[in-house]
Amino acid sequence: MNYRHAFHAGNFADVMKHLALVAILTHLKKKPAPFVVIDTHAGRGLYDLMSDEALRSGEATGGIERVRGLGDGPEALRLYLDVVRSCGEARYPGSPLIAAKLLRPEDRLVAIEKHPDDARALKIALAPFRRAHVVEADGYARLPAHLPPPERRGLILIDPPYETPDEFAAAARAVAGILRRFATGVVLVWFPIKSAAAANAFCSEVLQYGPRKLLRVDLDTGAGGKRMASAGLLVANPPFGFDADMRAALDAVAPGLGHNGPARPRLDWLAGPQ
């Protein structure tokens, strides 16, 4: 599948992924020690929801536009919506910009993007943030050079476009490399669910690399047709309490993200706490 993000910014999968990102960062900030966020496929950082690409797909109307107006809710949801609203009604922040807005002065962001045009746009989006560093490179190839980080705490976000047939295998190998070099790091991997068999095989492959804790999070919108209706996250070494926070956040947005009824979130421990 081709997942050029300008067409999909702010869709239901972004809402799910970015709620997880915010929840993890919130937990990491509870300890005073600094940490790093490494985004291997960072994208442009900020997306125009009135662009030709976004309007052609219309996916934001089934995602962020359905939950933007929510009021009180779980902490992760409130923080996420605060960041989104700070970018303006016609803009949507990508993962690196969300992270940059939430990090403390002592924390650090490494945003890796291989496409030159997107890397240039990302540098502009992250220019106000002194501790954010943009690297124009292939995320998988450059990642080992940043591990283990000097902070010895952090989050690695793997959010590839899934444009090539071997992307699942590449993502699984990346997780294996992270666990070898940075065994205590939190790893967040987004993946589309176009085929249940392919998604299950990917999760099983990652499980074989031996993470002590591995949580799978799925969200099924119930949408039919050719459009992606389900997406998933794998979280290795999630912070204590992340699963409860993520379930609360997804339960809060599920009524708005579903088709013919609420979206259906599911959380499964593949390794570790039950």
Could you tell me which residues come within 8 angstroms of residue 208 by beta carbon, excluding any fewer than 6 positions away?
A: none
Q: Which of 118, 159, 218, 245 is catalytic?
A: 159
For residue 117, indicate whether it is catalytic: no
Question: Of 50, 30, 155, whose CA–CA distance to 99 is shortest?
Answer: 155
What crossing angle do the helices spanning 116-126 and 95-102 adopt, rounded to 10°? 20
Catalogue the active-site residues.
159
